[in-house]
Amino acid sequence: MLIMQTIVNGLLIGGVYGLVAVGFSLVWGVANIINLTHGVFVLLGAYISFWLFKLYNVDPFLTIPLSMVSLFLLGFFIQKYLLNYVVRAGVFMTLILTFGLARIFENQMIVAWTGDWRTVTTSYAGSGLAIGGVSIPYIRIAVFILALLFCMGLNTFLNKTKVGMAIRALTFNVEGAIIVGIDIGKIYAITFAISAAMAGAAGSLISTMYSFSPFLGTPYLSWSFVIVVLGGLGSIYGAIIGGIVLGLIESFTVLTIGPGYQVAIGFVILVIFLILRPQGLFGKKFLT
């Protein structure tokens, strides 16, 4: 029964891990930007939910659209007015720039919401299903399903719409995309904005399950790195599967070796994957 519970826990948390990583993976795959503010975007989404819940008692699940829209706009402006100016200077320049941005946001979050741990506790937080000794909170089921829906929606957008196809075109051949008239500056901005919106949605979902503080940006970022390497760069389903694999690995590490080692195991797997299978489980090789 303990095994079943471990599997269920790992699986359900894996969905939201995947949603955290999917935008990170997209921006990296499309624009070749390693966005170190991604963890901060997740936190901003969580704080938007926290604020609306605390001030106006809005259900955190209903705050998701607002989180997504706010972060979409923020992401769009960051890419258009900052990152687009250094994209061609190389990946490490954008990386350092986003590092600087992350410090600014972290600082502002501490000023706005203090360094305290915050939680969003809804009236239904404790209730759940119990099937044969395995307990499953309703919130985790809802979060898992929503995370999968968001990723599927993103996948449909990338495959069926004109903008989505332009985004995908940039992952294959930038020069070719320019020749056929794609405005890459604009497409980069939209890609970055979508990535931030996904992070915002993930943040709102996370706020229903865990407590958070302004210092959690780096751990969320670390998950994203591990998941992208596991699932493969730029692959939407790779991110979801990578998230679930990471969730399962973490919960089994807690069961067998003990709590505290799950992050170490995650990083050891990251290094092993980079050495043996750098394209990840499903994706393609990194752009260099």
Q: Give the footprint of other proteins on this chain (CB under 8 A).
A: 34, 82, 84-89, 91-93, 96-97, 99-104, 106-108, 111, 184-185, 188, 218, 222, 225-226, 229, 258, 260-261, 263-264, 267-268, 270-271, 274-275, 278, 286, 288
CB of 32 to other proteins, least distance (A): 9
Q: Toward other proteins, which CB reaches closer, 33 or 64? A: 33
Cα–Cα distances in Å, from 17 out to 4, 12, 34, 78, 265?
20, 9, 18, 24, 16
Which candidate, 50, 70, 55, places its Cα nearest to that of 117? 50
Residue tagged 């080692």 (tokens): 261
Q: Toward other proteins, which CB reaches closer, 50 or 225? A: 225
Specify whether the CB–CB gap between 22 and 240 falls below 8 A. Answer: yes
Specify whether the CB–CB gap between 46 and 104 falls below 8 A. Answer: no
CB of 22 to other proteins, least distance (A): 18
Q: Toward other proteins, which CB reaches closer, 145 or 268? A: 268
Q: Toward other proteins, which CB reaches closer, 132 or 260? A: 260
CB of 227 to other proteins, least distance (A): 12
Q: 88-123 in b/e burial notation, b at 16+ Cβ within 10 A?
A: eeebeebeebbeebbeebbeebeeebeeeebebeee
CB of 174 to other proteins, least distance (A): 9
CB of 242 to other proteins, least distance (A): 14
CB of 264 to other proteins, least distance (A): 3
Q: Toward other proteins, which CB reaches closer, 181 or 260? A: 260
For residue 228, give both structure tokens.
């992208």
Cα gap 45→41, rounded to integer Å: 6
Q: Toward other proteins, which CB reaches closer, 46 or 270? A: 270
SS3 content of the chain, % helix, strand, coil (to 5): 75, 5, 20
For residue 272, give both structure tokens.
């092993």
